[in-house]
Amino acid sequence: MTSTAYLSADLLSGLLTFTTPFHLTSSRFRIRLSSEESLFPRVCELHNTLELLASSSSPMRRLYELRGVKGDGETNQDAEDLLSFMLNAEFLLYALYKEYPILLNPSLAHWVGCCREFEKYAKGHVGEWGLRDQVLKMRAAFVKGILSERGEDVSFCLWTMLRR
């Protein structure tokens, strides 16, 4: 049975780290789950949370709600939190199954859908790119790197670039 819930606030907070390389954040997250009887429900919750935030007109505000904290959701720090979660979550989905070819990764359909949705959104977008748009653009670029089977390289290069 799949989970229709979202990631819990404590697990979600573990993916907000912006100053640690993606593989370390991913390892810490997996260690927290080592006592779980099954990883599958957490992966479903991760997918659900990513979809909720990506499809929201105010994802930074939604992230606050999921975390159970108050905030307006429109500052640069809020955008950094959203980007941190998005990229860490996508890398975690990659890392959980990286020993298998990309075509066997259970998140393949999720990633293809992410890229298609962003391309459709970008084609119809007019005006300046706001914080939300920029976060979604970086996420799509990161996912394309994973799909090109360069997950480790892309994650290291992106993390290095973002920390400058």
Token representation of residue 82 = 């959203």
Report if residue 27 sits inside a domain: yes
Q: What is the mean pLDDT of residues 23-40?
A: 80
pLDDT digits (tens, 9 = 90+) for 149-159: 766 666 555 55
Residue 78 binned pLDDT confidence (cut-offs 50, 70, 90): confident
For the whole model, what pTM was predicted?
0.87
Distance CA 132, CA 123 (A): 16
Report if residue 95 sits inside a domain: yes
CA angle, 161 as apex, 82 and 72 as ends, to 5°? Answer: 20
* Owning domain of residue 30: 9-162
In total, how many domains does the chain have?
A: 1
Report if residue 58 sits inside a domain: yes
Report if residue 4 sits inside a domain: no
**pLDDT value at residue 36:** 56
Report if residue 2 sits inside a domain: no
Q: Which residues have a Cβ under 8 Å from the Cβ of 120 and sit 6 or more positions away?
A: none
**pLDDT value at residue 1:** 43
Report if residue 61 sits inside a domain: yes
Report if residue 145 sits inside a domain: yes
DSSP conformation class of 127: S
**pLDDT value at residue 37:** 62
Q: Which of 59-63, 68-72, 120-124 has the lowest mean pLDDT?
A: 68-72
| Helix segments in 4-150, DSSP class H | 9-13, 22-33, 40-55, 59-67, 76-96, 108-124, 131-147
Report if residue 94 sits inside a domain: yes
What's the CA dihedral at 66, 134, 91, 24 to 10 degrees?
A: -80
